[in-house]
Each structure stands twice: as structure tokens, then as C-alpha cells.
Amino acid sequence: MNTQRRNVLKAGSGAALMTVLAAAGIITPGMALADWNKAAFDAKSMADTLKALGAGAPADSKDVQVTGPDIAENGAVVPVGVASTLPNITMVAILIEKNPNALAATFVLPEGTEASVQTRVKMGQTSNIYALVKSDGKFFMATKEIKVTLGGCGG
């Protein structure tokens, strides 16, 4: 059983992982929210999230930009953006290191869609934000620290 579980965990990420887990009878189809990557969204730490996304240990890249305010006065609405000049980007993910679940969102980009995505996230406290991109099958990331001030005094 244990070796089977290891193999399942190694087998991959995303839809593939869900399919494998369902096939192995570890999760029932009803538990799997269609293709939603529950394993990645449930992961608590950065390392577990990266593993669930199949990213391993991504290299830092200057060609990935993560944008956001230096100081967010309201942690409930923090605008963040990811952009990259790397070729053939198929996936973009936003991770917030100190949130209860690190992964905020993933975006799958079909051919023709540019690697430039903006959204708004919630942050429980001051934390590093990671932008993860998959380019030519390899993972790269960039980091930015955003300070969250609960008092709204900007300090």
C-alpha cells in the first residue's frame, strides 16, 4: 500500500493526479470537484504546494515579474499581477507563503494567450508572494514581499 501511495504521489499533478487518485480508489469521484486540483489547493506549505503542482524546486528567474503594492493597507483586497517574457508559457500560479493555504490561483494559458495575468487576492499577514510559471515544461518563479498593515495607517 505504501509503495502504491508513493507512486501515486509521484505520478503527476493537476488533472492527471486527480485521475490517478480516483483510479487508485484513494478518493471517490464525488470528492473530486471535477478537475479542480484539490491536492494543490489544500496544501499548507510552499513546498507541499509546489510538489502538488508538479513543480519541484523551481529556479528563480529575472524574466518573471510579480507585481503588487509594497504595502497593502487592506489585506482583503491585494492586487497582484504576474507577467513573463519566457517562451511557451502554459501555466501561471500565484502563491502566498503565509496564507493558511499557500496556493491562491492557477491559470492555464492556451497558445495565443499572453503570460500577463492580474487578479486580487486576500492576505492574512505580511508575506512573500510567489509567481510560478511553466515555460517549455520547466518551472520558474519570482518573489515579492507585500506588507499588510491591519491598522490602515500605512506604517
Query: Which CB, 50 or 78, lies closer to other proteins?
Result: 78
User: 45: buried, middle or exposed (CB in 10 Å: 19+, 13-18, 0-12)?
Assistant: exposed
Strand partners, 92: 107, 133
Nearest approach in angstroms of CB 143 to other proteins is 17
- Does position 149 bind other proteins by CB under 8 A? no
- Residue length of the chain: 155
Rounded CA-CA distance 37/105 in Å is 10
Contact region for other proteins (CB under 8 A) — 60-68, 111-119, 135-143, 146-154? Answer: 111-119
Q: Which residues contact 104 (CB under 8 A, 6 or more apart)?
A: 94, 95, 96, 119, 121
- Does position 46 bind other proteins by CB under 8 A? no
- Does position 106 bind other proteins by CB under 8 A? yes
Residue 21 sits at φ, ψ, to 5 deg, of: -60, -40
Interface pick for other proteins out of 47, 59, 71, 76 (rule CB under 8 A): 76
Kindly determine how many residues on this chain lie close enough to bind other proteins according to the rule CB under 8 A.
Answer: 34
Query: Which CB, 7 or 113, lies closer to other proteins?
Result: 113
Applying CB under 8 A, the residues found at the interface with other proteins are 33-37, 41, 76-79, 81, 96, 99-101, 103-110, 112-114, 116-123
